[in-house]
Amino acid sequence: MTASTDHIAVDILPGGPALPQERRLVTAIPGPRSQELLERKAAAVPVGIGHTVPIHAVAAGGGVVVDADGNSLIDLGSGIAVTTVGNSHPKVVEAVQRQVASFTHTCFMVSPYESYVAVAEALNRLTPGDHEKKSALFNSGAEAVENAIKIARKHTGRQAVVAFDHGYHGRTNLTMALTAKTMPYKHGFGPFAPEVYRAPLSYPFRDGLSGAEAAKRAITMIEKQIGGDQVAAIIIEPIQGEGGFIVPADGFLPALVEWCRANGVVFIADEVQTGFGRTGRMFASEHFGIVPDLITTAKGIAAGLPLAAVTGRAEIMDAAHPGGLGGTYGGNPIACAAALAAIDAYETEDLPARATAMGSVIVDRFTEAQRGDARIGDVRGLGAMVAVEFVDPATGEPDAALTSAVAKAAIAQGVIVLTCGTFGNVIRFLPPLALGDELLNEALDIVTAALAAA
């Protein structure tokens, strides 16, 4: 099918779960049509906007992405943890179609509408804690994080914000300051927002500390270098995403929350990547028994439509004065319709349980591989958020070259895998939960074979 105007013609095809759920290579990756489009991209789009998989998508559904040459790739990345319910989930498609034919926009700050309020109610109900909550909607994860910090500062009347080593919170000015890794996220883009401090994380594979020891190290740094009464907020991903899917040691997060409560500091859990069933619970905070004051969400919330949220204690959320929060598109009705449909799918299709089942398949495969392969330093994760960290067996040093070679080889074989990590030495698995076991295992066969051959 070609959608066209007088001047623009773009190849699109029907997608959704009806798309054959198969890996199918009919050309090399990239094929000639994708190659041609990549050349157009290079001429029209700045190099700063990179890409991981050298194809151009024309359709996607369930757990596969079809490219312009007719190749069908198994998706183990969900567009970075977004299409968790599966690409073009039927409920999402129907809800979006209905909404787009009804109205596309009023601006919630001009004329409110019910779907925004319904998304806020769902978030208030689903996020951890039974206290009174409120939610505000935005467009992107970075925007949600920016607003969470605004709210925490206004509530506390303080300025300092503490983020952590290996943290990732976005690419806007304030969120670049919060993000740890310079290349590619920050390098040359300063000056960065002031009053952002970085504390050491719990990274069991690399620091060998207990949760209590790692928390003590972080809290000592905060108290000695900033002062507890100066801190508006601590922001942390319960499991760090871009930083390498780092699961903190038991007790680390609860100790930070306890310190925040004792010092009047707002604890913000950035669940942009971990939220919405991904880790086997609706929110990763639940695994650690913590109740954040504020929680930021995006990605999986609306199955690919741009939507993000800040949810938290009503008294903190209400600290911002009328008109102090918002934006033209925040909580756009089409994105809200998609979110309500996606949330319905998470709940009625028991997707968190599916995430747990898929995660154990992935972990088992790599734990098995690790027995005979000392290059696999660590296999970790929760639910369908699994990482494999590669090291040089002789030195234990991160092996980014091996990681990139394995990912490239898997992609060439029709499996979309993503890498991450401060040291670039982690392959991360974020499959759509609509992916069946047969395709999941086929994809893992390819990744493990690529590792054996590397």
- Stretch in the footprint of ligand PMP (CB under 6 A) among 2-10, 141-149, 213-221, 276-284: 141-149
394: buried, middle or exposed (CB in 10 Å: 19+, 13-18, 0-12)? exposed
Q: How far is the CB of 93 from ligand PMP (least distance, A)?
A: 22
Residues 6+ apart with CB under 8 A from 408: none
Q: Is 253 a binder of ligand PMP (CB under 6 A)?
A: no
Which residue carries 């972080």 as its tokens? 218
Q: Is 272 a binder of ligand PMP (CB under 6 A)?
A: yes
Binding characters for ligand PMP, 154-193, by CB under 6 A (x = yes):
--------------xxx-----------------------
Q: Is 140 a binder of ligand PMP (CB under 6 A)?
A: yes
Q: How far is the CB of 292 from ligand PMP (least distance, A)?
A: 13
Inter-CA distances, 49 with 41, 185, 208, Å: 10, 11, 37
Q: Is 330 a binder of ligand PMP (CB under 6 A)?
A: no
Beta strands in 166-243 (DSSP E): 196-199, 231-236
Binding characters for ligand PMP, 85-124, by CB under 6 A (x = yes):
----------------------------------------
Q: Is 298 a binder of ligand PMP (CB under 6 A)?
A: yes
Q: List the one residue out of 428, 362, 351 whose CA is nearest residue 84.
A: 351
- Stretch in the footprint of ligand PMP (CB under 6 A) among 95-103, 269-277, 351-359, 426-434: 269-277
The site for ligand PMP, by CB under 6 A, has a size of: 15
Q: Is 303 a binder of ligand PMP (CB under 6 A)?
A: no
- Stretch in the footprint of ligand PMP (CB under 6 A) among 139-147, 211-219, 346-354, 406-414: 139-147
Q: How far is the CB of 241 from ligand PMP (least distance, A)?
A: 4
Closer by beta carbon to ligand PMP, 148 or else 291 = 148
Inter-CA distances, 70 with 38, 165, 330, 410, 438, Å: 16, 42, 36, 18, 21
Q: How far is the CB of 144 from ligand PMP (least distance, A)?
A: 7
Question: 120-143 as b/e, with b when 16 or more CB fall inside 10 Å?
Answer: bebbbebbbbeeebbbbbbbbbbb
Residues 201-240 that bind ligand PMP (CB under 6 A): 237
Candidate residues 142, 235, 260, 402; the one interacting with ligand PMP per rule CB under 6 A: 142
Q: Dihedral angle at the C-alpha atoms of 240, 241, 247, 253, nearest 10 degrees? A: 30
Within a 10 A sphere around the Cβ of 298, how many other Cβ atoms?
27
Residues 6+ apart with CB under 8 A from 157: none
CB hemisphere CA count around 130 (13 angstroms) = 0
Q: Is 77 a binder of ligand PMP (CB under 6 A)?
A: no
Closer by beta carbon to ligand PMP, 298 or else 447 = 298
Contact in structure between 57 and 307 (CB atoms under 8 Å): no
**Length of the chain in terms of residues written:** 454
Closer by beta carbon to ligand PMP, 148 or else 444 = 148
382 φ/ψ angles, rounded to the nearest 5 degrees: -135, 135
Residue numbers at the binding site for ligand PMP (CB under 6 A): 80, 140-142, 145, 168-170, 237, 241-242, 270, 272-273, 298
